Amino acid sequence: MPSNLTELFSLDGQVAIITGGTGVLGGAMAHGLAQAGARVGILGRRRERAETVVAEIERAGGEALALPADVMDQVQLESARAAVLDRWGRIDILVNAAGGNVPAATLSPDRRFWDLPREAFAQVFELNLLGTLLPSQIFGAAMIQGRGDEPPHGCIVNISSMAAQRAITRVVGYGAAKAAVDNFTRWLAVELGRSHGAGMRVNAIAPGFFIGEQNRDLLLNADNSLTQRGQTIIDHTPAGRFGEPDELISTLIWLCSPGARFVNGVVVPVDGGFSAFSGV
């Protein structure tokens, strides 16, 4: 049992992997994990981008490893797991941040619900759900092996979205996929807790609206003023602004830390109040 607040929230000595650690939100969370003392595997499709994040973490005094892999590719994920075990010998934390919307699955005046291509729906659904499930299987399998006499110990944090809980116009496949991620979070929390004990936990963070690579053009005009959609979002966010990527860090650290050892199967909104507001 940790004896003070620092220990309660410390990730010292732990090994974390973050998929999509090359992205806007994943990159910020990767830095946060390293600041809390974890050694961090940065998993992303492009080696150069992963190496850039690794170099930034190392410059800040942390330890990190680039893991080029596609979350939809089992063989590449297994190679990434082997690389982490070879370097650090254990895996304690998995953050599933790879994901997002797919342009072809976004509705518009020219692409109404009736025109939505089945393939585009399947693509966005698979990226967000299977792209969370496969890394959970492959890295989770290393967590449950335990270390010596220690019982299995591990923490998975999935990155969901407000689109899971509220109907967000135009992104039907993305919303369905993130709702499935919420359900999978609860399912896996129950499965791992019952099968492998209280040391195994699975939770999720549901970010509100942050400016990322994928949604920038939907939310901001070229001169950085708000698009109509961006303004509607701000009008429905009691905080009156978009989130800053760094604002996800403290919730992530809390969920991964010894302080959250009795927190399992929850989806925590970090949304400036968006999910609480009826719009009236």
Ligand X SMILES: NC(=O)c1ccc[n+]([C@@H]2O[C@H](COP(=O)([O-])OP(=O)(O)OC[C@H]3O[C@@H](n4cnc5c(N)ncnc54)[C@H](O)[C@@H]3O)[C@@H](O)[C@H]2O)c1
Task: Between 55 and 198, name the residue whose CB sits nearer to ligand X.
Answer: 55
Task: Between 71 and 268, name the residue whose CB sits nearer to ligand X.
Answer: 71
Taking CB atoms, the residue at the shortest distance from ligand X is: 23
Task: Between 16 and 25, name the residue whose CB sits nearer to ligand X.
Answer: 25
183 is catalytic: no
Instruction: Give first-to-last CA distance, the chain, whole Å.
Output: 45
Strand bridging mode 267-270 / 200-207: parallel
User: How many CB atoms neighbour CB 111 within 10 A?
Assistant: 16
Strand bridging mode 64-68 / 200-207: unpaired
Shortest distance in whole angstroms from residue 181 CB to ligand X: 8
The one catalytic residue in 9, 121, 139, 174 is 174
Contacts to ligand X by CB under 6 A: 19-20, 22-26, 44-45, 70-72, 97-100, 127, 131, 159, 161, 207, 209-210, 212-215
Shortest distance in whole angstroms from residue 179 CB to ligand X: 12
Nearest to 40 by CA among 99, 88, 6: 88
Strand bridging mode 15-19 / 200-207: unpaired
Task: Between 215 and 257, name the residue whose CB sits nearer to ligand X.
Answer: 215
Shortest distance in whole angstroms from residue 217 CB to ligand X: 12
Task: Between 24 and 144, name the residue whose CB sits nearer to ligand X.
Answer: 24
Supply the residues annotated as catalytic. 174
